[in-house]
Structures are given as structure tokens and as C-alpha cells.
């Protein structure tokens, strides 16, 4: 009997979390081996390691406690990877040498698999004087471009691209350029952007007052606060970025505001962190803790929840000691404060199981009650750890109890902390759980609503055939097992039907008992008015949220997986969610149209000739094959290999424009060359540029650095429903916005790493 609730869960485990040898031979023979590996690794720091190993295993068993992906994949493997998910890097000095020192630190962190955040507000604005060199500053955005290029060249541990967050204060002189930076589709593609919004700014917005843009005490411009706010809102409305972080609220609510100031977050926003701050993540699977689901006595078992939280806190505290860190400064910061980020997943499923409609006032109250119980259990467990192992080194009882969320904590918890101290300065956070939610049986992600009741996906089998399987939400599957084909009750809602302000209500309810922050996407309908859209952000501010991220599908951001609803409320109504993948290579016609391009690399004796042939499908041309030739025999092997690999990719169909991006990102350590007024980092990047120009010329992509202009499809696809973009990892049309990141539901690929 398998422990997995669905085939997709086992596939995710095999692809993402199963420990394998370098040649792909499995070391973890079963998911039980994975749980045992993690439990044994995290119990090694305990005096009675055998006893704690068994307790840790019991918490992991049946997916009740879900350590974040880096822990699940890395613990006990002996690999030089960090088990921490989140890093905010050091404060960027306003000097050339300091800026590039920070770039080096970022590369080292991303190389080990960490997502990073940076505040670029510390760099002087464009046009400011640079003392001693008779020049004007190029501004923070120019250096963000350098970071973006660096990120393209770093492949994080486990084949995950690094994820980056860039923040900028709402009073920085370059804030307007920052707000609109990603309206250029070719720019800053490796970054998520968020504006640090202060309380005085929000008051100025409400009063329609003037707002000074300043740096280092000098006012560069004065604008109307409401106009600047509308610029932020318009960019987010059109391009889904930048996000908004209410930075003063974050610092006011920080348990450590007596020793640190926060100016940035990790890539998905759930971890506001100080310079060199690091945090690890894990989630309680709420869907596994409901007894008598859908029954008259359905409830979340409070004792099981408390016991599970206590074990999870201990496991996470042990990670601080077990993990490697890319930088010594990060290790010191983690040891000094012992931050952890315990959150939840499967919340929406748990609400459904107890008969509550996600987004309703009753569901918000229940969410607040559950999160309160988790916070109490986590803090008391950390007090017990302090009795046994000592408080975190920077603990000061009176200052700690007078700061942040501790002021609202229950009296008995405060008394316990005053008497015994506390092991972990901050304990709760709600992180993105897209992949681990699939691994745990397709439970609802984080505190998000159920995205779709069910959808179809096509799976490649070992013999080369393809089968179609249904992926069903965990709560819906439990309903089916209990009631068969009975119609779903009216309280079953999903992300397609939920009003934006219902999202805000749930985020605000959860935030009351989360001492860090929450990664959540507020889905907005495409036809939402701009004024109604702005109300979502104002409601988030007024109800106590620490930030706000929305997603409105449109021609620029792309459509998200389409789900249609039927009046009988049956799971099978979600027919629009079928995933289509052009699995079989397209047949080669007898004749193809194409172009040949000559590429002369400086200092090379012989030119390279590239021929790109196209196929015409439904009246659209798309690249089908590439031939690369040169008289230089030093190039022979790699040009043949590149010819075969690129052609194989092109013949699979879908959005193959990523090939250009990958080639253009290759840097030659021996140096690149200037060509046509541009610096090209390698000969491979030059080849990528030629292929890109060809794609533009045939109308396959709109312009340099941009994706598909149209979505040409083969006749064999048979796709009628609207859909999003193809996943760059697995090719399936399952990309959707989850907790602030475009994420593939089929393979777990995420823009945020």
C-alpha cells in the first residue's frame, strides 16, 4: 500500500525530494525512507537521538508535518546545501566596491540554493553626484540589472533557479522608475519587486498631501502621494508587480525590534528579515488533523495539533544547528536569534471538512482561532526548549515582552517567557507550499482557497506512452470517498469564484497570530475596475495585513488555468482545467522554409553559420530545427550537440523561447566580445541572439527578451479552452499564480525557486 494519496504526489516526491545518487539511482527506496532520513538527521543534535528520531518520524508520517522543500530534499544527504529557505542579504553600501562585494555574497548564497532579498534604497539615485570622480550616479536600477544578470547564471541546488526580491522605499527619488521597471518584459525577470510603504505615506495618500522623494537628507522631488500610490496601483493592475509591503507595521510588530530594523523580505514576502537574516520554514498540514471530516462532529483535534506543533518546533530549532550556511554572517545571525517560520497548509481543505465557506466571517473567525492555538503551542514549546537548552542569545525578557506581537500574547505565555526565557525569537510564518502541498496529496496550498476541485493531466510513462489522470483536491477526494457522486455543498468555493475582499479577510484573520508575515495571492477577476482594485490594497492596510500581493489575469500577465463551474457543484465541472502538453515530436515535412545567418565571433578564424528552419502550423510560423556549422574543428563537437538538442526541443512544440534565454545567459570566463554596440558574454550567447532575432522576424516572439507573440499549436493538441503559459520545466500548461509566484501544479517548478 502506498502512502501517497494521488499519483501526482508520488511523482513530486520522486522528482523533488527523493534522495538519489548522482546517476539517478534512488537511495530513498520509499517515502518512509525519506521521512526516516530527515528524522535521523535532525535528531543527531539531541542527547537521546534515537528517541527523538522516532518522535520526529511520527510527526512526518502521513504528511502531518511538512518541512519546507530544502529540508525535505537536503537533510541527511551530506550535500553542501543550505536547509534554510530565506535570506535577506547585508545592507548594500553606497559605493562601487561595496556594491560588488554584495553581488559576490548574493552569488554564493544562491549557489547553495537560497532565495534572497535586498533593499536597494541605500544606493544613491540616478544623477546624484559621485564625489571624487566627477560623474553622476547611475542609480539603483542599473545595479539591479547587474544582479539580474548574475541570477541568470546561477543554478541553485537541486536545479532550482535562484529567486530574488528587490525592495525600495516609497520616498526614494528613483521610486517611480522602480515601480514601472517591469513594464519592460525583458528587464529584471529574475526579480520580484515590492515597494516599502510607510505609515506616513499612507496617511499622505488619504489626505492627498505632497510627498518628498529624498536621499541622505536631500529632497530631489516632491510629488502628490496619491499620484504615486496610483502609479503603484496601475503597474500592479497591469503587470502584477510591484507588490506592497507595509514596512512600518512590520517593524512595529517585530518581536526583535529592540535589536534590529527590517527593510527587506525573502522572495515571496512571508519572511521580513534584517541584514543577513535567515529563516527556515515548515507547515502543519491542517487537512490531516480534522476528525470526522464532513460529519456532524467534524472538528480539528486540539490535542493532536498542540502535540504536533511542539515536535515541529523542536525539529525546526534543530535545523538551525544542523544546516550549513553560505556565509558566516548568516550563520551568526541565525544562531543569535534562532528564527523559525512554522506555518500551515491545507487550511482551506480543513475549513471545508468542518463545513465552513472559505472567505466567510465564520471561516475567518475559525482561522484566527486555529492560528492562535498554533501560536500558543509554538511559543510554549519554545519556552520548554529554553528550559532545556537555553534562550536565544539576544533574549532580554523585559525588552522582548514589550515588543512586537508579544504585547498581545496570552498572559500565561508571557509569564512563562519572563520566567524561563524562549528558545526562538520568532516562530510563525505562512510560506508558499505549492510543491509540498502536491506532495502531501494535493491539499490546498498555505492559507489559499482551493484553486480547482479537479483537473486532468497527461503523464509520460516509462514505456513512452502517455496516460491521462485526474488530479483532485484532497478535501474533494475525501468527500467522494464518503458520499460518492453526491453534489458538493454550497460552501465549497474556490479561487475562481471568491471575491477579492474575502481573500483579504482571510489574510487579516491569519496575520493576527503570525509573528512574521504571510505569502498569499489575492486573485482578482480580469474585469475588476481600477477603483475596486485599489480598494483591495486599502482594505489590506486597514485590516492589519503586513503586505499585499494581487494577481489579475490579462494579456500581459497571462491567463491562469481556466476553471468552469456548473450549477450541480460536482467536481467534474472543472473541465476547463485540462492540462495539454505536446508530447510527441512533430513530424518533419518534406520541405521547410528557413534562413541562414553568418556569425563572425571576434578573434575567431572561421565564421559560424546558423540555419533555422520553420514549420507552419495553423497559419503561424514557428522554429522547427537548427543547424550550426563551422570550418573550425574546435567547434565541431559542441555545435553538433547543440544542433541536436535545440532541434529536439523545438520539435516538441509549446513555448520554446526559453532556449534563447538560456543561451544568452551563458558567460564565458575567458571574456566575451563587443558586437553591434553590445557586449555579448559568450559565443553561445551570440548564437542565442541570432535565434532570437529569427524568432522576432517570423513573429514567434514580440521582441528582444520577450515571450510568445502568439501561441501556435499543432493540430494534434485539440485545445479549445483558454490557458496560461507552458511550464519552462515540464512543458505542461499548468502555470498559475500561487502565493506570489507563478508555479506549475504538475511538476512544482516555481519562478521563486
Catalytic-labelled residue, pool 270, 448, 625, 739: 270
The verdict on whether omega for the bond into residue 210 sits within 30 degrees of 0, i.e. cis, is: no
Distances (CA, A) of 5 to 9, 10, 62, 362, 552: 7, 8, 10, 29, 32
Distances (CA, A) of 418 to 310, 408, 674: 19, 15, 64
Alpha-carbon 553 to chain mean position: 18
Query: How far apart (Å, rounded) are the C-alpha atoms in residues 710 and 618?
Result: 11
Active-site residue 554, yes or no?
Answer: no
Query: How far apart (Å, rounded) are the C-alpha atoms in residues 573 and 453?
Result: 8
Active-site residue 266, yes or no?
Answer: yes
Which cell goes with 520?
Answer: 498569499
Residue 93, Ramachandran bin (φ over 0: left; ψ between -120 and 50: alpha; else beta): beta
Q: Which helix (H) or strand (E) holds 136?
A: strand 135-136
Q: Is the dihedral of CA 232, 234, 237, 241 positive or negative?
A: negative
Residue 296, Ramachandran bin (φ over 0: left; ψ between -120 and 50: alpha; else beta): alpha
Query: How far apart (Å, rounded) are the C-alpha atoms in residues 141 and 272?
Result: 22
Specify the long-range contacts of residues 665-672, CB closer than 8 Å, at least 24 apart.
665/149, 665/152, 665/153, 666/153, 667/153
Residue 356, Ramachandran bin (φ over 0: left; ψ between -120 and 50: alpha; else beta): beta
Are 437 and 350 contacting, i.e. CB atoms less than 8 angstroms apart?
no
Residue 401 neighbours by CB distance under 10 Å: 18
Query: How far apart (Å, rounded) are the C-alpha atoms in residues 168 and 178?
Result: 8
306 SS3 class: helix
According to DSSP, the residues that pair with 701 across neighbouring strands are: 708
Q: At residue 590, what are phi and psi to the nearest 5 degrees?
A: -65, -35
Alpha-carbon 125 to chain mean position: 29
643 SS3 class: helix
List alpha helices for 512-578, DSSP H.
530-542
550 SS3 class: strand
Are 442 and 473 contacting, i.e. CB atoms less than 8 angstroms apart?
yes
Catalytic-labelled residue, pool 192, 251, 255, 266: 266
Q: What are the residues whose beta carbons fall under 8 Å from the beta carbon of 98, sequence distance 6 or more?
A: 92
Query: How far apart (Å, rounded) are the C-alpha atoms in residues 467 and 372?
Result: 44
Which cell goes with 269?
Answer: 514576502
Query: How far apart (Å, rounded) are the C-alpha atoms in residues 407 and 409?
Result: 6
Catalytic-labelled residue, pool 268, 279, 727, 730: 268
Q: Please give the span between the terminal C-alpha atoms of the chain, in angstroms, as a whole number.
A: 32
**Of the candidates 212, 218, 331, the residue with the CA atom closest to the CA atom of residue 278:** 331
Residue 213 neighbours by CB distance under 10 Å: 20
Which cell goes with 709?
Answer: 507573440
Question: Rounded to 5 degrees, what angle do the CA atoms 359, 364, 369 make?
Answer: 155
**Of the candidates 61, 450, 514, 507, the residue with the CA atom closest to the CA atom of residue 253:** 514
Can you tell me which residue has the cell 528587464?
187
Q: At residue 569, what are phi and psi to the nearest 5 degrees?
A: 60, 30
Could you give the maximum distance between any two Cα atoms of the chain, in Å?
82
**Of the candidates 155, 117, 111, the residue with the CA atom closest to the CA atom of residue 279:** 117
Known catalytic residues are 266, 268, 270
Amino acid at each position: 500500500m502506498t502512502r501517497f494519496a494521488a499519483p501526482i504526489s508520488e511523482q513530486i516526491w520522486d522528482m523533488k525530494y527523493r534522495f538519489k545518487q548522482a546517476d539517478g539511482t534512488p537511495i530513498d527506496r520509499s517515502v518512509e525512507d525519506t521521512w526516516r532520513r530527515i528524522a535521523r538527521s535532525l535528531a543527531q543534535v539531541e542527547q537521546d537521538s534515537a528517541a527523538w528520531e522516532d518522535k520526529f518520524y511520527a510527526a512526518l508520517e502521513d504528511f502531518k508535518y511538512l518541512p519546507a522543500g530544502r529540508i525535505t530534499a537536503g537533510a541527511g544527504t551530506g550535500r553542501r546545501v543550505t536547509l534554510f529557505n530565506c535570506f535577506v542579504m547585508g545592507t548594500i553600501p553606497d559605493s562601487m566596491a561595496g556594491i560588488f562585494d554584495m553581488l559576490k555574497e548574493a552569488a554564493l548564497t544562491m549557489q547553495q540554493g537560497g532565495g534572497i532579498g535586498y533593499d536597494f534604497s541605500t544606493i544613491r539615485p540616478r544623477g546624484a553626484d559621485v564625489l571624487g570622480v566627477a560623474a553622476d550616479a547611475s542609480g539603483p536600477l542599473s545595479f539591479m540589472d547587474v544582479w539580474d544578470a548574475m541570477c541568470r547564471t546561477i543554478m541553485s541546488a537541486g536545479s532550482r533557479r535562484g529567486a530574488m526580491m528587490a525592495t525600495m522605499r516609497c520616498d526614494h527619488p528613483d521610486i517611480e522608475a522602480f515601480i514601472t521597471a517591469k513594464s519592460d518584459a525583458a528587464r529584471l525577470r529574475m526579480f520580484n519587486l515590492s515597494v516599502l510603504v510607510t505609515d506616513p505615506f499612507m496617511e499622505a495618500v488619504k489626505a492627498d498631501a505632497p510627498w518628498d522623494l529624498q536621499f541622505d537628507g536631500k529632497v530631489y522631488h516632491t510629488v502628490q502621494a496619491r499620484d504615486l500610490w496610483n502609479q503603484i496601483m496601475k503597474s500592479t493592475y497591469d503587470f502584477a508587480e510591484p507588490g506592497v509591503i507595509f514596512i512600518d507595521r512590520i517593524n512595529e510588530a517585530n518581536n526583535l525590534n529592540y535589536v534590529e530594523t527590517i527593510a527587506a523580505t525573502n522572495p515571496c514576502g512571508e519572511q521580513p528579515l534584517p541584514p543577513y537574516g535567515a529563516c527556515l520554514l515548515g507547515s502543519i498540514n491542517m487537512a490531516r488533523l480534522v476528525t470526522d471530516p464532513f460529519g456532524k462532529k467534524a472538528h480539528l483535534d486540539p490535542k493532536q495539533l498542540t502535540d504536533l506543533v511542539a515536535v515541529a518546533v523542536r525539529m525546526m530549532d534543530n535545523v538551525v544547528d544542523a544546516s550549513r550556511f553560505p556565509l558566516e554572517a548568516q550563520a551568526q545571525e541565525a544562531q543569535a536569534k534562532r528564527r523559525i517560520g512554522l506555518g500551515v497548509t491545507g487550511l482551506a481543505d480543513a475549513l471545508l471538512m468542518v463545513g465552513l465557506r472559505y472567505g466567510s466571517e465564520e471561516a475567518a473567525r475559525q482561522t484566527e482561532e486555529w492560528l492562535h492555538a498554533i501560536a500558543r503551542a509554538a511559543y510554549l514549546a519554545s519556552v520548554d526548549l529554553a528550559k532545556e537548552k537555553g534562550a536565544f542569545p539576544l533574549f532580554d525578557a523585559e525588552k522582548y515582552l514589550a515588543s512586537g506581537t508579544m504585547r498581545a500574547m496570552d498572559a500565561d505565555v508571557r509569564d512563562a517567557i519572563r520566567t524561563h526565557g524562549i528558545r526562538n525569537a520568532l516562530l510563525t510564518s505562512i510560506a508558499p507550499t505549492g510543491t509540498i502541498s502536491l506532495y502531501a496529496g494535493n491539499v490546498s496550498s498555505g492559507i489559499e482557497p482551493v484553486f480547482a476541485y479537479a483537473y486532468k493531466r497527461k503523464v509520460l510513462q516509462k514505456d513512452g506512452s502517455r496516460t491521462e489522470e485526474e488530479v483532485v483536491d484532497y478535501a474533494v477526494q475525501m468527500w467522494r470517498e464518503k458520499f460518492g457522486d453526491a453534489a458538493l455543498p454550497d460552501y465549497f468555493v474556490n479561487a475562481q469564484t471568491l471575491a477579492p475582499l474575502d481573500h483579504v479577510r482571510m489574510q487579516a484573520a491569519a496575520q493576527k497570530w503570525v509573528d512574521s508575515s504571510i505569502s498569499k495571492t489575492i486573485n482578482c477577476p480580469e474585469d475588476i475596475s481600477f477603483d475596486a482594485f485599489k480598494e483591495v490594497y486599502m482594505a489590506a492596510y486597514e485590516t492589519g495585513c503586513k503586505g499585499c500581493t494581487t494577481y489579475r489575469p490579462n494579456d500581459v500577465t497571462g491567463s491562469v488555468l481556466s476553471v468552469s463551474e456548473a450549477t450541480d457543484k460536482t467536481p467534474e465541472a472543472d473541465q476547463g482545467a485540462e492540462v495539454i502538453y505536446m508530447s510527441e515530436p512533430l513530424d518533419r515535412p518534406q520541405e521547410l522554409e528557413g534562413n541562414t545567418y553568418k556569425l563572425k565571433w571576434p578573434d575567431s578564424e572561421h565564421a559560424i553559420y546558423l540555419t533555422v528552419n520553420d514549420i507552419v502550423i495553423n497559419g503561424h510560423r514557428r522554429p522547427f530545427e537548427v543547424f550550426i556549422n563551422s570550418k573550425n574543428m574546435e567547434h565541431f563537437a559542441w555545435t553538433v550537440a547543440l544542433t541536436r538538442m535545440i532541434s529536439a526541443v523545438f520539435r516538441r512544440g509549446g513555448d520554446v523561447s526559453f532556449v534563447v534565454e538560456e543561451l544568452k545567459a551563458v558567460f564565458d570566463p575567458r571574456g566575451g566580445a563587443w558586437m553591434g554596440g553590445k557586449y555579448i558574454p559568450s559565443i553561445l550567447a551570440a548564437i542565442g541572439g541570432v535565434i532570437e532575432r529569427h524568432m522576432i522576424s517570423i513573429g514567434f516572439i514580440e521582441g528582444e527578451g520577450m515571450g510568445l507573440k502568439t501561441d501556435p499549436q499543432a493540430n494534434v493538441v485539440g485545445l479549445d479552452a483558454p490557458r496560461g503559459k507552458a511550464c519552462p520545466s515540464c512543458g505542461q500548461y499548468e502555470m498559475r499564480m500561487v502565493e506570489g509566484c507563478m508555479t506549475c501544479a504538475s511538476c512544482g517548478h516555481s519562478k521563486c525557486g
